[in-house]
Copies of this chain bind each other. A is one copy, B any other.
């Protein structure tokens, strides 16, 4: 006996990944509604061998729904999320709309699943670059509190959606053919280039992606004092984010202790082979559930052996978005 599901934003990169992950994990459900914008209504989508007709996402979509997985952008979530809750559904939302709402739990199941208990109909999924950073940082933080994190990201095109992934490929073709590069889904040329995240910049100079890393980590860790400094950058990769993470701990810690802690951490795979220069790459993480961690080494510029550098790679669409939301839904069952 399962639940009645709905997917809002089923045609997007994350929406499509919801379907794959529900299938792969054999998520038990009685019914599933495929919802998207008016533009996509009437189109077909196949799931577990059965064809579904996409319906338009409206306030009336949720009368017969227990769990609604939302990935349709912040403004549409604000428009339709409350209606879904009112109709009795629990919304697991991938957008930033409700993440910092004190009434809404912001959850990474490996870290703070218990926060879900307080939900009032909406549970928020953190931002991709936040999730991928903190899944491996959390088990370290629990053992030895992290005082400060300096993070530089290497983010894939998928963070800007499926159209951006296709545009990156198109741009690469254009560069290779000596043609002019076109930018619609991407703000600038990303092929053979990189640029700082093009989300809105706050008066302090940090863009929204960077402030998500700061504010969401503090909320999820329930640690408002942790120091976090982020630089978020898009690079020409397709669907896995990498991050260079510098950690300062309260007490001394060694690379071997970090390896030990991470070797049993849920959702983490250690891939750390300095002798052969084999460390996590986007191609390793793509399509995988775990966050991969390598380059585990002492930061000799932090006194008393309290500093550690790590390098992580995680699938942006999967653990960075759809998988984390499905894991939340599984906990709801």
Q: Give A residues with C-beta under 8 Å from B.
A: 148-150, 152, 154, 168-169, 172-173, 176, 187-189, 191-196, 198-199, 201, 204-207, 227-229, 231, 233, 235-238, 242, 244, 246, 255, 274-275, 277, 279, 281-283, 294-302, 307, 309, 311
Contacts and interface: CB of A to CB of B under 8 A. Distances in A.
Nearest to A294: B196
* Number of copies of this kind of chain in the complex: 2
B188 A281 contact: yes
Nearest to A168: B192
A75 to B, nearest CB: 20
Contacts of A154: 154, 194, 233, 235
Given A246-B150, A301-B150, A194 B237 contact: yes
Contact of A187 (B204, B205, B277): B277
A230 to B, nearest CB: 9
Nearest to A276: B201
Contacts of A189: 281, 283
B297 A204 contact: yes
A233 B204 CA distance: 28
A158 to B, nearest CB: 11
A205 B298 contact: yes
29 contacts: A150-B301, A173-B176, A188-B281, A189-B281, A192-B236, A192-B238, A192-B282, A193-B282, A193-B283, A194-B242, A194-B281, A195-B279, A196-B279, A196-B295, A199-B277, A201-B274, A204-B297, A205-B297, A227-B302, A229-B246, A229-B299, A229-B300, A229-B301, A229-B309, A231-B309, A233-B244, A235-B235, A236-B236, A236-B237
Nearest to A246: B150
Contacts of A236: 192, 235-237
Contacts of A255: 205
Given A154-B154, A236-B235, A201 B311 contact: no
Contact of A196 (B168, B196, B233, B311): B311
Contacts of A169: 176
A58 to B, nearest CB: 34
B237 A193 contact: yes
Given A231-B311, A275-B201, A297-B204, A176 B172 contact: yes
Contact of A195 (B188, B204, B275, B281): B281
Contacts of A173: 176
A206 to B, nearest CB: 6
A296 B301 CA distance: 22
A237 B192 contact: yes
Interface centre among A188, A189, A195 (most CB of B within 10 A): A195
A244 B207 CA distance: 14
A205 to B, nearest CB: 3
Nearest to A148: B301
